[in-house]
Amino acid sequence: MNVPLLALDDGALADRNDFRRDVLAGLGRYPRAIPAKYLYDSRGSALFDAICELPEYYPTRTETAILRDCADDIARLAGPGCALVEYGSGSSVKTRLLLDAMVDLHAYVPIDISRQHLDATAVRLRHDYDGLRVDPVSGDYMKLDALPPAINGARRIGFFPGSTIGNLTPEEAILFLRRARRLLRADGALVLGVDLRKDPQRLHAAYNDAAGVTAQFTLNLLRRMNRELDANFDLSAFVHDAFYNEAEGRIEIYFRSLRHQEVRVAGRRFVFAEGERVHTEYSYKYDEAGIGALAGKGGFSIERSWTDPARLFAVVFLK
């Protein structure tokens, strides 16, 4: 395999091995699927930031507006001297509203699988927040067993915005919450951003933007496989395919083969039929009762919740 493994440090090498294993397993079974976390290499993270700016993509600006209004309430509920632990932190843009509001923050711990993007974000935050302790953790939050010892002794407030919880199946979301509850400890809390069920057309538009940025984001996974797994996907022979499945209450995203074709990935050959889809992402939408039920199964209860006037999105404070 013609991949420059020697140029990678141990962390990046382990990431590459996980990627190869999960892609080969996901393409080797039917229906085919690749875990959504692999959409986020450096380019994927930058494309996600571009998606957040799209006119059709209401979640980011709606959640930002809610947080702008409730950041002081969150800071009061959290109390002074906390550690803020963010799951899937990306560019930590909305986080700044909490960093500005929280009193005597002990540390900020951003967790993200997109290693280089996480490191670059940490550098920017240290520059912009003089004196703030920023302790990034690079890895999969579904597997994380410990947080940096530097936050021992501080109340741990988790933050999981962006409706990233919607990328998990409800079963995975419960496992995530149970793990978060252990890591955040009995006196901790979790601030969760959740996209609400709404008009299917609005949902459809949000994941099929006119500028095609969401399509680039999905197809970036093929580029990543070409680069990191010595694959030879023809990017013009696959398309982004996203729709709302109303019965399941979720957006489903795939890449779809435009023709019958054979592709090499990490030394293996895979045949794709014309029209065959490979699943890359879900985005589950919840109603308010569903959020409460999910929180309860994950070991939390809702202390406060906030929404926007059109009830597109919810932010909840779970204890």
Ligand X SMILES: C[S@@+](CC[C@H](N)C(=O)[O-])C[C@H]1O[C@@H](n2cnc3c(N)ncnc32)[C@H](O)[C@@H]1O
214 touches ligand X (CB under 6 A): no
Question: Between 137 and 156, how does the x/- string for binding to ligand X read (CB under 6 A)?
Answer: ---xxx--------------
**Plot region of 293 (φ>0 → left; ψ -120 to 50 → alpha; else → beta):** alpha
Identity of the residue, 46 or 237, whose beta carbon is nearer to ligand X in the bound complex = 46
Identity of the residue, 37 or 277, whose beta carbon is nearer to ligand X in the bound complex = 37
Answer whether the bond into residue 149 is a cis peptide, omega within 30°. Answer: no
Taking CB under 6 A as the criterion, the residue among 158, 161, 170, 188 binding ligand X is 161
Identity of the residue, 47 or 265, whose beta carbon is nearer to ligand X in the bound complex = 47
Stretch that binds ligand X, among 97-105, 111-119, 121-129, 148-156 (CB under 6 A): 111-119
Q: Min. distance of Cβ 200 from ligand X in angstroms?
A: 20
300 secondary structure, DSSP code: -
Stretch that binds ligand X, among 6-14, 106-114, 128-136, 202-210 (CB under 6 A): 106-114
d(CA 32, CA 34): 7
**Plot region of 226 (φ>0 → left; ψ -120 to 50 → alpha; else → beta):** alpha
Question: Which one-letter amino acid corresponds to residue 53?
Answer: E
89 touches ligand X (CB under 6 A): yes
Taking CB under 6 A as the criterion, the residue among 27, 33, 113, 295 binding ligand X is 113
Q: What residues numbered 25-44 form the site for ligand X, per CB under 6 A?
A: 37, 40
Question: Which one-letter amino acid corresponds to residue 212?
Answer: G
Across the strands, what pairs with 286?
196
Distance between terminal CA atoms of the chain?
49
24 touches ligand X (CB under 6 A): no
- Ordered alpha helix ranges (H), the chain: 10-27, 42-52, 58-78, 95-101, 115-128, 170-184, 200-206, 213-228, 288-297
Taking CB under 6 A as the criterion, the residue among 136, 162, 170, 188 binding ligand X is 162
CA angle 8, 11, 16 (to 5 degrees): 65
Identity of the residue, 164 or 257, whose beta carbon is nearer to ligand X in the bound complex = 164
Taking CB under 6 A as the criterion, the residue among 19, 23, 34, 48 binding ligand X is 48
Q: Min. distance of Cβ 92 from ligand X in angstroms?
A: 7
235 secondary structure, DSSP code: G
Stretch that binds ligand X, among 97-105, 109-117, 122-130, 197-205 (CB under 6 A): 109-117
d(CA 319, CA 273): 48
Q: Min. distance of Cβ 309 from ligand X in angstroms?
A: 21
Question: Which one-letter amino acid corresponds to residue 276?
Answer: E
The site for ligand X (CB under 6 A) is made up of 37, 40, 45, 48, 52, 60, 88-90, 94, 111-114, 140-142, 161-162, 164
